Structure 1
Amino acid sequence: MKLYRLHKKQKLPISKETAWLFLSDPKNLKVITPDYMSFNIISGADKPMYAGQIIQYIVTPVLGIKTKWVTEITHLVEQHYFVDEQRFGPYALWHHKHFLKEIDGGIEMEDIIDYKLPFGVIGQLVQPLLVKPKLNEIFEYRKHKLETLFGSYKP
């Protein structure tokens, strides 16, 4: 089974504290997810983020197929990073690291996602045709949404 990686960086003209308050609130995941995905949190978003937190949601990533996804916040250092891992969902493995770093005039957000697809060779065939483009589309939406909310970074 092949391991894939998606690596994204974005700079925003906001403080680390502002970025952390927004990104560490599970309810804001809906705000930065494309509407067509019908993202809906079922449970786990009623408290500020903490290590061990389980978040359950329904999402419709492709072809109108509703998928239940359960993630756990496995690691967290306030205002620096957190890690979410899929416990149940569409991937054979999903490990998503979120880092925040102060830079001149704002912050740099870095996302590193390591994932495996189910279904062996079929999953590997679908990766470049469907999964990789869909993940890039979702993160491009997120980038534009965050710029709409917080402004564009200008060094």
Structure 2
Amino acid sequence: MDEKSKIRINLTSREFEIEGSEEFIAKYNETIDSFLDKIYSSDSSQNSQSNGENSTLGEAIETNKIKSSDSMDSISELSFGELYHKLPNSAKDVDKILLAGYYAQLLSEERIFSTREASNLLVEQGVKLSNASAFMKSNMSTKKVFKHKGGYRVSDTGIAYIKNTLLV
């Protein structure tokens, strides 16, 4: 068999990629289906165990709410400084610009933001990033952010990361 075949699974970003001939893919079809069933069943069990107010990520996006330590607060009611100080001390620069971008996106009518807007929010908090564009590219490569209408938009994956990892 001269053709290269490859199966790549990235559990953290929930990516599943298969390359190869139709025969190769057909050979593993049942296995692939069982993986997908397990992923979907774990998603539904996590959603049923989550907070009753925000049982799905879609509801959280629509209401612009993130889980805070005490209660559910609307992000748009918080200043960026208050939100920034909820970050854990272990947060990396790439996480900081993701949070700043998400905040800028929520304030934008078009729901997009620029690297400059996110960086300026951080500068107001005394955080100067060495290369904000590189951090944005890193967020794009992990699919937390994507380009949209000349700016950026935080993806569902990025919002879930902010909600579940950064602002716990």
Whose strand proportion is higher, 1 or 2? 1
Fold conserved (TM > 0.5)?
Answer: no
RCO higher in structure (CA 8 A, sep ≥6)? 1
Whose helix proportion is higher, 1 or 2? 2
Larger Rg: 2
Q: TM-score w.r.t. structure 2 length?
A: 0.28
Q: TM-score w.r.t. structure 1 length?
A: 0.30
